[in-house]
């Protein structure tokens, strides 16, 4: 075969690959027109007050039962699925939350964006109790969590360089800024230190995390964000500051009573922010890099994946591996 023939053949193969990938991406983006918004309620936020026309859905997943029944309804013109990550009666510790079941269940109901309001402690003076943060980075200090769907004969490596969707975070931050009461601030970026829990930090740990430049500390969001990325769901957090952890010399160390009091103060405004953000997401239905996270992340040849494993992953991998 001549060099020119080889070049033509290579060009055709590249063109076919590009056309195939373009078609797949087009199908994914088109699916956003009917996609739903998921809201994962954290400590103190066990329901969304303005969710209308609700119905309860009980689901079994390949990873067990979710934390609770899922409540589907309408919020600001958007179909929304709400799930209390700790259960509506707060019966799951941060380690016990069935993260994989929760994310799988949301994706199975057509969720392609997740907003995650959750309680955090502050690690910096300028981030005060009753402020809110829309973080843009993580440091993970958990060690007892399942952090991937891809096990048992299937391997995927998704990019987590930017673990929160910047487009979704911008929508959430803008909604929050417009609704924050006087004297309280919404911070548009920050690093979230994810700890195992359920106990709060020691003073030494708290000061170590401060020295790393972390802004807030929590126990749940990193695990959700990792799994949401594999499930090709855009994820963003509304981190509601309840305390100064235990590092601040002029404030009492964090306690459950302190957290609960400030959570109640935050709950009403958090509901309003979820409504405003939902309205904007309904208008924009933004596409995200997260929505195609597996495109370049699947490592194992589909024909080498055990049938049982592939069946569990089918919800996420169909666009790439076929049904």
Query: Which is catalytic among the residues 131, 136, 243, 301?
Result: 243
Element (H, E) at 216: strand 216-218
Q: Identify the three-state secondary structure at position 30.
A: helix
The span from the CA of 98 to the CA of 212, in Å, is: 29
Q: Catalytic one among 140, 162, 245, 296?
A: 245
Bridge partners of 83, per DSSP, are 40
DSSP string of 72-131? Answer: EEEETTEEEEEEETTTTTT---TTTS-HHHHHHHHHHTTEEEEEEEEEEEE-STTS-TT-
With contact defined as beta carbons under 8 Å apart, do 94 and 140 qualify? no
Q: 236-269 in b/e burial notation, b at 16+ Cβ within 10 A?
A: bbbbbbbbbbbbbeeeeebeeebbeebbebbbeb
Whether 245 is a known active-site residue: answer: yes
Contact assessment for residue 53 and residue 88, using Cβ atoms and an 8 Å cutoff: no
Q: Would you call 314 a catalytic residue per the annotation?
A: no
H or E segment at 222? helix 221-230
Q: How far is Cα 175 from Cα 269, in angstroms, rounded to an integer?
A: 11
Joined together, the tokens standing for residue 244 give 């100064």
Tell me the angle at which helices 307-321 and 99-108 cross, rounded to the nearest 10 degrees.
50
Please provide residue 75's backbone torsions phi and psi, each rounded to the nearest 5 degrees: -140, 115
Token pair for 121:
């402690």
Closest CA to 227 of 44, 40, 69, 72: 40
Grouping H, G, I as helix, E, B as strand and the rest as coil, residue 36 is: strand
Q: Which residues are catalytic?
A: 243, 245
């Amino acid at each position: 075969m001549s060099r020119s023939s080889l070049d033509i053949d290579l060009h055709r193969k590249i063109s076919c690959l590009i056309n195939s990938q373009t078609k797949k991406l087009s199908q994914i983006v088109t699916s956003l027109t009917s996609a739903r918004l998921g809201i994962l309620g954290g400590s103190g936020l066990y329901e969304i007050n303005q969710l209308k026309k609700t119905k309860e859905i009980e689901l079994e997943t390949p990873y067990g039962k979710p934390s609770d029944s899922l409540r589907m309804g309408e919020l600001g013109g958007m179909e929304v699925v709400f799930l209390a990550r700790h259960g509506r009666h707060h019966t799951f510790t941060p380690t016990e939350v069935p993260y994989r079941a929760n994310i799988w269940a949301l994706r199975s109901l057509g969720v392609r964006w997740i907003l995650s309001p959750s309680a955090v402690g502050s690690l910096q003076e300028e981030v005060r109790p009753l402020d809110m943060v829309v973080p843009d980075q993580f440091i993970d200090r958990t060690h007892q969590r399942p952090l991937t769907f891809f096990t048992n004969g299937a391997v995927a490596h998704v990019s987590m360089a930017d673990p929160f969707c910047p487009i979704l975070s911008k929508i959430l931050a803008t909604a929050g800024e417009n609704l924050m009461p006087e004297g309280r601030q919404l911070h548009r970026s920050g690093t979230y230190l994810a700890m195992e829990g359920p106990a709060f930090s020691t003073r030494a740990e708290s000061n170590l995390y401060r020295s790393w430049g972390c802004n807030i500390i929590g126990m749940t969001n990193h695990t959700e964000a990792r799994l949401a990325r594999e499930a090709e769901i855009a994820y963003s957090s509304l981190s509601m500051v309840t305390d100064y952890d235990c590092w601040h010399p002029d404030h009492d160390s964090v306690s459950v009573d302190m957290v609960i009091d400030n959570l109640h103060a935050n709950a009403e405004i958090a509901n309003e922010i979820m409504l405003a953000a939902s309205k904007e997401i309904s208008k924009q239905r933004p596409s995200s890099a997260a929505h195609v996270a597996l495109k370049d992340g699947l490592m194992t040849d589909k024909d080498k994946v055990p049938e049982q494993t592939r069946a569990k992953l089918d919800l996420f991998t169909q666009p790439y591996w076929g049904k």
